[in-house]
Structure 1
């Protein structure tokens, strides 16, 4: 099966045409094209994302099944609950959104994905998502402790469709705190799920699960048309998790 090669500005193929389980690289959709804001919005708005390594062309993906974290199913283990409770009540601890997006994505670019020795967030990807951030469609969730950026994550958002990208931590649990804050924000604004793209044991341990691509694409098509949240974090949002019945006791 021949992989489509795109020139910059050319529309991406339909997500459902991505290579399947019997093809050489399941989930791979196309190669080439560009990383401009318009192309990224078209991609994410149709359940597609870029992922490639140094020396490769831009590669576009839409795996089936798709890994998602449903906000209502977030697993708040006992140890993380205690960490969040301490963080929420401590002076000098706060969640900031979009305070320092560029530093967050640069830090994420230094943290390889599980099982990889290098980064997938190449300089051209950093530049592309900074441009997407300036266009209002990429956001950083930041964990600040005593005036220092301790960890965080960045995501893409189109309406109420939220796509998690990458996270980092300079201090223990700092990235988990940021993810929990994003879950709180999603619960507050009735955003049902966060796209996680690929299955990892870490995400599964937090409650993420695989769903059929068709279901995911239907969710995106509906959510991208809806008004997005106010991208700020109020400490009262912690109650979305901390006042709920514990989902795990380990």
Structure 2
């Protein structure tokens, strides 16, 4: 019996909209007739959807999605430190709370849609915030820039990537339960080469000492359309191409 043709739902926070546009762009380039929908809202958190756990299953029911590209957790991490002021807390304290909320969301989803496939890539490193937080006219601005480069950037990157362990553990947990959950880490995809002498960094993978390249960022938090195109190109190559090619081999008609 052939599998149902794939339908993709991009769901979650503000990165959902970039995911949707970037993925749709790649599907069109590949001439694939795969319906793609988007749901969610800017600024939303895993905590909010855990408190309204009917939302994601409802969207999957309405769109008949077979795949969910889920983007949640970033605002929870940000709010933990900045809104709640827990500056001295370890990242693991925040990610433990995020994992609990993601468990609630995923358990509710799989209860109603046990065969749906969920994929998450987390996010990517932040862009430069230097011009927003350091004034050249302020006293000791040179010192602040040095501290930002050698302390601020690596700490921020390490906090951001702490979400990786949570998403990896979710993949292991739900795979053992017989559900389809995949984590594809894309950290460092948008770092690119910031300085010519760092050209070899592309071969060594990402660096905690660099932010995402400005050419890929709309602001310090969000990628721009070029950035999301790069991210979705990599996610397509590492996850969706396998899903769609498998569907074609099973007899599904995906080509236009």
TM, length-normalised to structure 2:
0.27
| Bigger radius of gyration among the two | 2
**Structure with a larger share of its residues in helix:** 2
